[in-house]
Structure 1
Protein backbone atom coordinates (compact mmCIF):
# COMPACT_ATOMS: atom_id res chain seq x y z
CA UNK A 1 0.00 0.00 0.00
CA UNK A 2 1.34 3.36 -1.00
CA UNK A 3 1.25 6.79 0.51
CA UNK A 4 -1.10 9.61 -0.35
CA UNK A 5 0.30 12.62 -2.17
CA UNK A 6 -1.41 16.03 -2.24
CA UNK A 7 -1.06 19.04 -4.50
CA UNK A 8 -2.13 22.63 -3.94
CA UNK A 9 -1.92 23.68 -7.58
CA UNK A 10 -1.50 27.30 -8.55
CA UNK A 11 -0.72 28.77 -11.94
CA UNK A 12 2.90 29.44 -10.88
CA UNK A 13 3.70 27.08 -8.01
CA UNK A 14 2.36 23.84 -6.61
CA UNK A 15 2.67 22.93 -2.95
CA UNK A 16 3.23 19.24 -2.25
CA UNK A 17 2.50 17.10 0.82
CA UNK A 18 2.52 13.38 1.51
CA UNK A 19 1.11 11.06 4.11
CA UNK A 20 2.97 8.67 6.34
CA UNK A 21 2.61 4.97 5.33
CA UNK A 22 -0.29 4.53 7.81
CA UNK A 23 -2.10 7.51 6.24
CA UNK A 24 -2.52 9.34 9.53
CA UNK A 25 -0.19 12.35 9.30
CA UNK A 26 0.37 14.76 6.40
CA UNK A 27 3.82 16.32 6.02
CA UNK A 28 5.17 18.94 3.61
CA UNK A 29 7.37 17.75 0.76
CA UNK A 30 8.04 21.18 -0.73
CA UNK A 31 6.91 22.96 -3.83
CA UNK A 32 7.70 23.02 -7.53
CA UNK A 33 7.02 25.39 -10.36
CA UNK A 34 3.71 24.21 -11.81
CA UNK A 35 5.24 24.13 -15.30
CA UNK A 36 7.50 21.28 -14.09
CA UNK A 37 4.88 19.44 -12.02
CA UNK A 38 4.25 16.56 -14.42
CA UNK A 39 7.99 15.85 -14.72
CA UNK A 40 8.37 16.03 -10.94
CA UNK A 41 5.45 13.64 -10.44
CA UNK A 42 6.81 11.14 -12.97
CA UNK A 43 10.18 11.15 -11.20
CA UNK A 44 8.56 10.88 -7.77
CA UNK A 45 6.37 7.95 -8.82
CA UNK A 46 9.38 6.06 -10.16
CA UNK A 47 10.99 6.17 -6.69
CA UNK A 48 7.96 6.12 -4.37
CA UNK A 49 4.80 4.08 -4.03
CA UNK A 50 1.85 6.46 -4.22
CA UNK A 51 -1.64 5.06 -3.91
CA UNK A 52 -3.72 8.21 -4.41
CA UNK A 53 -3.13 11.78 -5.50
CA UNK A 54 -5.31 14.36 -3.73
CA UNK A 55 -5.69 17.64 -5.60
CA UNK A 56 -7.12 20.75 -4.01
CA UNK A 57 -10.37 22.01 -5.51
CA UNK A 58 -10.62 25.80 -5.34
CA UNK A 59 -14.23 26.72 -4.63
CA UNK A 60 -15.52 30.20 -3.86
CA UNK A 61 -17.63 30.85 -0.79
CA UNK A 62 -20.92 30.53 -2.67
CA UNK A 63 -19.94 27.13 -4.10
CA UNK A 64 -18.79 28.20 -7.56
CA UNK A 65 -15.37 26.96 -8.74
CA UNK A 66 -12.70 29.67 -8.84
CA UNK A 67 -11.11 30.86 -12.07
CA UNK A 68 -8.05 28.62 -11.66
CA UNK A 69 -10.20 25.45 -11.61
CA UNK A 70 -10.19 25.18 -15.42
CA UNK A 71 -6.38 25.27 -15.40
CA UNK A 72 -6.26 22.62 -12.66
CA UNK A 73 -8.76 20.37 -14.43
CA UNK A 74 -6.70 20.50 -17.63
CA UNK A 75 -3.57 19.60 -15.67
CA UNK A 76 -5.36 16.67 -14.02
CA UNK A 77 -6.26 15.33 -17.47
CA UNK A 78 -2.55 15.42 -18.37
CA UNK A 79 -1.65 13.61 -15.14
CA UNK A 80 -4.29 10.93 -15.79
CA UNK A 81 -3.01 10.48 -19.32
CA UNK A 82 0.61 10.10 -18.17
CA UNK A 83 -0.26 7.95 -15.12
CA UNK A 84 -3.51 6.05 -15.84
CA UNK A 85 -3.14 3.74 -12.80
CA UNK A 86 -2.89 6.63 -10.32
CA UNK A 87 -6.11 7.29 -8.42
CA UNK A 88 -6.93 11.01 -8.23
CA UNK A 89 -9.28 12.54 -5.66
CA UNK A 90 -10.32 16.16 -5.14
CA UNK A 91 -10.57 18.00 -1.83
CA UNK A 92 -12.14 21.38 -1.08
CA UNK A 93 -9.34 23.85 -0.45
CA UNK A 94 -11.37 26.81 0.79
CA UNK A 95 -9.48 28.82 3.41
CA UNK A 96 -6.30 26.70 3.21
CA UNK A 97 -4.11 29.68 2.29
CA UNK A 98 -5.48 31.70 5.20
CA UNK A 99 -5.13 28.75 7.56
CA UNK A 100 -1.55 28.22 6.34
CA UNK A 101 -0.70 31.87 7.03
CA UNK A 102 -2.27 31.61 10.48
CA UNK A 103 -0.40 28.36 11.25
CA UNK A 104 2.91 29.98 10.33
CA UNK A 105 2.22 32.97 12.57
CA UNK A 106 0.91 30.85 15.46
CA UNK A 107 3.90 28.54 15.09
CA UNK A 108 6.26 31.47 15.59
CA UNK A 109 7.69 31.45 12.06
CA UNK A 110 9.66 34.61 11.38
CA UNK A 111 8.14 37.08 8.92
CA UNK A 112 11.04 36.64 6.49
CA UNK A 113 10.52 32.85 6.38
CA UNK A 114 6.75 33.31 5.88
CA UNK A 115 7.48 35.43 2.80
CA UNK A 116 9.44 32.64 1.09
CA UNK A 117 7.85 31.58 -2.16
CA UNK A 118 6.11 28.28 -1.86
CA UNK A 119 5.90 28.22 1.93
CA UNK A 120 2.15 28.88 1.98
CA UNK A 121 1.68 26.49 -0.96
CA UNK A 122 3.27 23.52 0.78
CA UNK A 123 1.49 24.15 4.07
CA UNK A 124 -1.79 24.47 2.14
CA UNK A 125 -1.05 21.07 0.55
CA UNK A 126 -0.59 19.62 4.04
CA UNK A 127 -3.96 21.06 5.11
CA UNK A 128 -5.66 19.66 1.99
CA UNK A 129 -4.22 16.20 2.60
CA UNK A 130 -4.97 16.20 6.32
CA UNK A 131 -8.56 17.23 5.61
CA UNK A 132 -8.90 14.39 3.09
CA UNK A 133 -7.50 11.83 5.54
CA UNK A 134 -9.67 13.11 8.40
CA UNK A 135 -12.82 12.44 6.37
CA UNK A 136 -12.18 8.73 6.67
CA UNK A 137 -11.00 5.79 4.61
CA UNK A 138 -12.03 6.45 1.03
CA UNK A 139 -8.53 5.44 -0.03
Structure 2
Protein backbone atom coordinates (compact mmCIF):
# COMPACT_ATOMS: atom_id res chain seq x y z
CA UNK A 1 0.00 0.00 0.00
CA UNK A 2 1.43 3.43 -0.85
CA UNK A 3 2.21 5.98 1.83
CA UNK A 4 0.35 9.25 2.41
CA UNK A 5 2.56 12.31 2.77
CA UNK A 6 1.55 15.59 4.45
CA UNK A 7 3.11 18.97 3.77
CA UNK A 8 2.92 21.96 6.11
CA UNK A 9 4.26 24.52 3.65
CA UNK A 10 5.53 27.80 5.04
CA UNK A 11 7.32 30.91 3.87
CA UNK A 12 10.70 29.71 5.18
CA UNK A 13 10.31 26.10 6.28
CA UNK A 14 8.19 23.15 5.25
CA UNK A 15 7.31 20.37 7.64
CA UNK A 16 6.79 16.93 6.14
CA UNK A 17 5.14 13.87 7.68
CA UNK A 18 4.43 10.46 6.22
CA UNK A 19 2.44 7.35 7.04
CA UNK A 20 3.81 3.87 7.35
CA UNK A 21 3.18 1.52 4.41
CA UNK A 22 -0.09 0.32 5.96
CA UNK A 23 -1.32 3.92 6.38
CA UNK A 24 -1.91 3.42 10.10
CA UNK A 25 0.62 5.70 11.80
CA UNK A 26 1.68 9.25 10.92
CA UNK A 27 5.30 10.14 11.69
CA UNK A 28 7.30 13.28 11.22
CA UNK A 29 9.76 12.90 8.37
CA UNK A 30 11.73 16.14 8.25
CA UNK A 31 11.64 19.91 7.93
CA UNK A 32 13.25 21.45 4.87
CA UNK A 33 13.76 24.95 3.48
CA UNK A 34 10.61 25.75 1.50
CA UNK A 35 12.49 26.64 -1.67
CA UNK A 36 13.80 23.05 -1.83
CA UNK A 37 10.39 21.35 -1.42
CA UNK A 38 9.84 20.30 -5.04
CA UNK A 39 13.37 18.91 -5.38
CA UNK A 40 13.00 17.06 -2.07
CA UNK A 41 9.69 15.54 -3.18
CA UNK A 42 11.10 14.45 -6.57
CA UNK A 43 13.84 12.58 -4.75
CA UNK A 44 11.51 11.13 -2.11
CA UNK A 45 8.97 9.91 -4.68
CA UNK A 46 11.72 7.96 -6.47
CA UNK A 47 12.60 6.15 -3.23
CA UNK A 48 9.16 5.61 -1.66
CA UNK A 49 5.76 4.79 -3.08
CA UNK A 50 3.40 7.64 -2.20
CA UNK A 51 -0.23 7.46 -3.26
CA UNK A 52 -1.56 10.72 -1.88
CA UNK A 53 -0.24 14.08 -0.69
CA UNK A 54 -2.01 16.37 1.76
CA UNK A 55 -1.11 20.04 1.65
CA UNK A 56 -2.20 22.30 4.47
CA UNK A 57 -4.76 24.95 3.72
CA UNK A 58 -4.40 27.93 6.04
CA UNK A 59 -7.62 29.58 7.08
CA UNK A 60 -8.60 32.24 9.55
CA UNK A 61 -11.08 31.49 12.33
CA UNK A 62 -13.96 32.71 10.16
CA UNK A 63 -13.00 30.28 7.38
CA UNK A 64 -11.56 32.96 5.11
CA UNK A 65 -8.10 32.45 3.53
CA UNK A 66 -5.18 33.54 5.71
CA UNK A 67 -2.39 35.91 4.72
CA UNK A 68 -0.13 32.99 3.71
CA UNK A 69 -2.69 31.50 1.31
CA UNK A 70 -1.16 33.14 -1.77
CA UNK A 71 2.28 31.62 -1.09
CA UNK A 72 0.83 28.18 -0.52
CA UNK A 73 -1.36 28.38 -3.63
CA UNK A 74 1.76 29.10 -5.72
CA UNK A 75 3.38 26.00 -4.24
CA UNK A 76 0.25 23.93 -4.96
CA UNK A 77 0.36 25.08 -8.61
CA UNK A 78 4.03 24.07 -8.90
CA UNK A 79 3.27 20.75 -7.24
CA UNK A 80 0.44 19.98 -9.68
CA UNK A 81 2.66 20.88 -12.63
CA UNK A 82 5.57 18.71 -11.41
CA UNK A 83 3.44 15.78 -10.22
CA UNK A 84 0.27 15.76 -12.36
CA UNK A 85 -0.51 12.11 -11.61
CA UNK A 86 -0.21 12.44 -7.81
CA UNK A 87 -3.45 12.47 -5.83
CA UNK A 88 -3.59 15.77 -3.92
CA UNK A 89 -5.91 16.83 -1.12
CA UNK A 90 -6.02 20.03 0.85
CA UNK A 91 -6.35 19.87 4.62
CA UNK A 92 -7.41 22.56 7.07
CA UNK A 93 -4.33 23.36 9.10
CA UNK A 94 -5.85 25.73 11.63
CA UNK A 95 -4.38 25.20 15.09
CA UNK A 96 -1.80 22.61 13.98
CA UNK A 97 1.13 24.82 15.00
CA UNK A 98 -0.44 25.56 18.38
CA UNK A 99 -1.19 21.87 18.86
CA UNK A 100 2.40 21.04 17.88
CA UNK A 101 3.75 23.47 20.46
CA UNK A 102 1.47 22.00 23.13
CA UNK A 103 2.65 18.51 22.15
CA UNK A 104 6.23 19.65 22.71
CA UNK A 105 5.31 20.93 26.18
CA UNK A 106 3.42 17.73 27.00
CA UNK A 107 6.42 15.71 25.86
CA UNK A 108 8.61 17.45 28.42
CA UNK A 109 10.80 19.38 26.01
CA UNK A 110 12.60 22.28 27.65
CA UNK A 111 12.19 25.90 26.59
CA UNK A 112 15.21 25.86 24.29
CA UNK A 113 13.97 22.72 22.54
CA UNK A 114 10.49 24.22 22.13
CA UNK A 115 12.01 27.21 20.30
CA UNK A 116 13.03 24.88 17.45
CA UNK A 117 10.60 26.13 14.80
CA UNK A 118 11.63 23.37 12.39
CA UNK A 119 10.42 20.77 14.90
CA UNK A 120 7.14 22.66 15.32
CA UNK A 121 6.59 22.51 11.53
CA UNK A 122 7.33 18.78 11.38
CA UNK A 123 5.00 18.04 14.28
CA UNK A 124 2.28 20.24 12.71
CA UNK A 125 2.49 18.18 9.50
CA UNK A 126 2.25 15.02 11.59
CA UNK A 127 -0.84 16.29 13.41
CA UNK A 128 -2.48 17.20 10.11
CA UNK A 129 -1.75 13.73 8.73
CA UNK A 130 -2.88 11.89 11.85
CA UNK A 131 -6.11 13.89 11.82
CA UNK A 132 -6.66 12.89 8.20
CA UNK A 133 -6.10 9.23 9.06
CA UNK A 134 -8.58 9.42 11.93
CA UNK A 135 -11.24 11.09 9.78
CA UNK A 136 -10.93 9.22 6.51
CA UNK A 137 -9.35 5.83 6.98
CA UNK A 138 -11.46 2.76 7.52
CA UNK A 139 -9.58 -0.01 9.26
- Specify the TM-score bucket, using the shorter chain as the normaliser: over 0.9
User: Per-residue CA shift, 1:41-89, capped at 9, x if unaligned?
Assistant: 0010011100000011111000101011111111111111111111110
Matched, 1:24 2:19: no
What secondary structure sits across from 1:135 in the alignment? helix
Matched, 1:71 2:48: no
- 1:97 alignment counterpart: 97
CA distance in 2, matches of 1:128, 1:56: 8
Q: Report how many residues are paired.
A: 138
User: Per-residue CA shift, 1:6-32, capped at 9, x if unaligned?
Assistant: 010101000000011111110000100
Matched, 1:126 2:119: no
CA distance in 2, matches of 1:18, 1:52: 10
What secondary structure sits across from 1:41 in the alignment? helix
Shift of 1:40: 0.4
What secondary structure sits across from 1:36 in the alignment? helix
CA distance in 1, matches of 2:15, 2:2: 20
What secondary structure sits across from 2:136 in the alignment? coil
User: If the length of structure 2 is used for normalisation, what is the TM-score?
Assistant: 0.95
- 2:115 alignment counterpart: 115
RMSD: 1.2
What secondary structure sits across from 1:118 in the alignment? helix
For structure 2, list consecutive stretches of 5 or more residues without a partner in the other structure.
none
CA distance in 2, matches of 1:62, 1:116: 29
Shift of 1:114: 1.4
